Amino acid sequence: MGLANLVSLSRIPLSLGGSYAVTIGAYGASLVLFVLVMISDLLDGLIAKRMGPTLLGAKIDFGSDLFSELVFFLSLLLVEAIPLYVATAVFLRITLQVIFISRSNPLITNGSLTLKVQKRKRVSTVLTWSTLFFVLLSLVVKEGARPLYDGLTLVAFPYIYFPLCFSMELLSISLLFQELMGKPVNK
């Protein structure tokens, strides 16, 4: 097992620890663990590019990303920090991605490995992970910076950020459905 795969797999215990921290109200610890999850995602990609990507590595990275998203969103849903409609869209997208990746074949072109589903994954991952980051950050600043917390939770999240996240999740779901049905998707 290569270094990139070990870095990818490190996201699993980090995510479990961060999610547990959310459920017990240790939001600062959860935010730190989530930042480590994001750093590990960046590092494994850099290491894989330098050492050469593998099919196993791509699947481990993808699975670790989905696992991290799932457990963090679930824990935030449990403490009522995100609305049910956003969590439902995320869970549906993750389910479809798992179905899609299990049915799709990797493409090897010019010695580089890509997975069809990962071509559109970057935008979704950035939005999803930024949502998690800002929700966790709002929980951390809740006591120390009440005006910032109120601005995030009363205005930015319900009227801007959550609808944007929900819309992007619906777009991802739509693209996954099209690909699952074998219809070509404009790139």
CA 145 to CA 27: how far, in whole Å?
14
CA 106 to CA 55: how far, in whole Å?
7
Question: What is the pLDDT averaged over residues 142-170?
Answer: 80
**Which H helix or E strand runs over 114?**
strand 112-114
CA distances from 170 to 49, 78, 92, 127 (A): 30, 22, 9, 13
Kindly tell me if the per-residue pLDDT of 14 is higher than 50.
yes
Domain parsing of the chain, residue ranges = 3-180
Q: What is the pLDDT of residues 99-146, one digit of tens each?
A: 777 666 554 343 444 444 455 556 667 778 888 998 898 888 876 777
What is the pTM for the complete model shown? 0.82
CATH top-level class of 3-180: mainly alpha
Among 60-64, 121-125, 168-172, 174-178, name the one with the lowest average pLDDT. 121-125
Q: What is the pLDDT of residues 73-93, one digit of tens each?
A: 999 999 999 999 999 999 998
Bridge partner list, 109: 112
Specify the length of the chain in residues.
187
Among 9-18, 25-34, 92-101, name the one with the lowest average pLDDT. 92-101
Contacts 24+ apart (CB under 8 A), 89-97: 89/165, 89/166, 89/169, 89/170, 89/173, 90/128, 90/169, 92/169, 92/173, 93/124, 93/169, 93/172, 93/173, 93/176, 94/66, 94/69, 94/70, 96/173, 96/176, 96/177, 96/180, 97/62, 97/66, 97/176
Quick one: pLDDT at residue 141? 83
Question: What is the pLDDT averaged over residues 170-175?
Answer: 83
Quick one: pLDDT at residue 108? 38
Residue bearing the bigger pLDDT, 98 or 103: 98
Among 14-18, 93-97, 144-148, name the one with the lowest average pLDDT. 144-148
Quick one: pLDDT at residue 22? 96
Q: What is the pLDDT of residues 29-74, one digit of tens each?
A: 999 999 999 999 999 989 988 988 888 888 888 889 999 999 999 9
